[in-house]
Amino acid sequence: MANSNQWKEMRKSALKTIDVTNFIELMLKQMNYQRMKGVELIDDVDKLVNWYLWICKKYPEPEAKPEQKPAPAKAEVKEVAEDSTPPATSEDTKKSKVEDSSPSGASSASKKSKPKKTAPKKDK
């Protein structure tokens, strides 16, 4: 590195990617944990941790509410599906079109036996 202060600039730019609020909160939680384990903190850090705890007490994290209605059970979904008519598939529509086009009493086998109409040939 040519410039002696270039590493400082590179560090600053890299540290800008860290969310400052999350970083501060994690550090204060860690300091509080150390204090609870019996580590004596310097006065300034002790004051910061006390201040953090006061803020946490004033603005507590919201708790998960069990009152929220869960997603419907599979049985309820199945009942709804049974009440509604199923969508027609392409095979069902083909079969119904063939059945609708045949005259009453005629079977699909009789259609196969009929000869195909061909156009008459013209002589030149």
In a domain, 64, yes or no: no
In a domain, 105, yes or no: no
In a domain, 2, yes or no: no
What pLDDT is recorded for position 102?
52
What pLDDT is recorded for position 68?
66
Domain range spanning residue 16? Answer: 7-58
- The model's pTM: 0.43
Which residues fall within 8 angstroms of residue 7, CB to CB, at 6 or more apart? 1
How does pLDDT run across 17-73, given as a tens digit for each residue? 989 899 999 999 999 999 999 999 999 999 999 999 999 999 988 887 766 666 666
CB atoms within 10 A of CB 32: 19
**Residues 35 and 46: beta-carbon distance below 8 Å:** yes
In a domain, 72, yes or no: no
Q: pLDDT: is 80 or 120 the higher one? A: 120
